Chain A
């Protein structure tokens, strides 16, 4: 009985050693692959820059009243995609468009939480949206534009 028990203990110890070895190899391989290949090609900032340029060119080339009346059709921007993945804010005569709440100064707004664009802690975090902002003159009026993207890659099986 005593001899048999000692034998079982040895077998169990070897099994544990193999399981431990498998776990170490699995964790090492997965971590290596994910660290090397897992990082997404960062595109949010480019997406936001392109949206900003599109809106700025649209304001420059058209009458602002027309733009604000039918933004998507005048600027040639897809409404569904914009509502799902983008945030846009256009202000006039505002000190800080990012925090502007006054309706008379906000000419157009899509989405909310523009403060996260300037959040210092979000700069290294890829889950936060990336934003582009700038000024544009149209018909003698200065407009501030903020465009942000929160679109991420979708992997479909």
Chain B
């Protein structure tokens, strides 16, 4: 009985011994491939999350805007001024990012520095006007005379520089 070439190949491949070796090797390789792929996927997802999270709800952009606007006001202020600033948008973003209102605006009179924290990181900028900022506080639901709406307002007083030891937080 003579067998054709194709029949011989099919017979060899059908042998249980040959199949088992092949299957074991394939399973090991497939699992190894998947592990590497899953590790890379996790690293990728984590990296993307970190990048996107930093800009969540525009916290970085609005923090940048608010800190510089507050510094501009302080640089133009004179001793004795009482400042009221509409910070409604900042409070909304801080609330969405689960940040406490008491830590949004931080005034460091020692370093002449203002920091705004609306997300995970805070944005800081220095003012050159040699004054101190005292009693900063966020007043909630203050009526706005122009729009007629109720807005959240940052209030602080400008006094002469006394190099106060402690930081003031609003």
Contact = CB atoms under 8 A, between A and B. Distances in A.
A and B together in one complex: yes
A84 B25 CA distance: 65
Interface string B61-102: 100110110011001100000000000000000000000000
A100 interface: no
A157 B37 contact: no
Contact of B72 (A25, A46, A72, A85): A46
B58 A54 contact: no
Given A50-B76, A151-B125, A15 B60 contact: no
A103 interface: no
A141 interface: no
Interface string B131-145: 100000000000000
B65 A41 contact: yes
Instruction: Give chain A's interface residue range (CB within 8 Å of chain B).
Output: 35 or more
Interface residues of B, number: 43
Given A19-B40, A29-B48, A78 B112 contact: yes
B26 to A, nearest CB: 7
A29 B52 contact: yes
B64 to A, nearest CB: 5
A76 to B, nearest CB: 5
B110 to A, nearest CB: 10
User: From DSSP, what is the main secondary structure of chain B's interface residues?
Assistant: helix
B51 A33 contact: yes
A153 B130 contact: no
Contact of A156 (B41, B121, B127, B130): B121
A72 B128 CA distance: 10
Contacts of B36: 15
B75 A81 contact: no
A57 B22 CA distance: 87
A78 B127 CA distance: 8
B77 to A, nearest CB: 11
Nearest to A75: B130
Given A22-B41, A155-B121, A155-B122, A29 B51 contact: yes
B3 interface: no
Nearest to A80: B112
Contact of B128 (A7, A19, A40, A82): A82
B33 to A, nearest CB: 6
Interface in A38-53: 40-41, 43, 46-47, 50-51
Interface in B26-63: 26, 29-30, 33, 36-37, 40-41, 44, 47-48, 51-52, 55, 58, 60-61
Given A77-B128, A151-B126, A153-B124, 7 more contacts: A43-B68, A51-B128, A54-B128, A78-B130, A82-B128, A153-B68, A157-B121
21 contacts: A7-B26, A18-B40, A29-B48, A29-B51, A33-B52, A33-B55, A37-B60, A37-B61, A40-B64, A41-B68, A47-B128, A50-B72, A51-B128, A78-B129, A81-B126, A81-B128, A84-B126, A153-B68, A155-B60, A156-B121, A157-B121
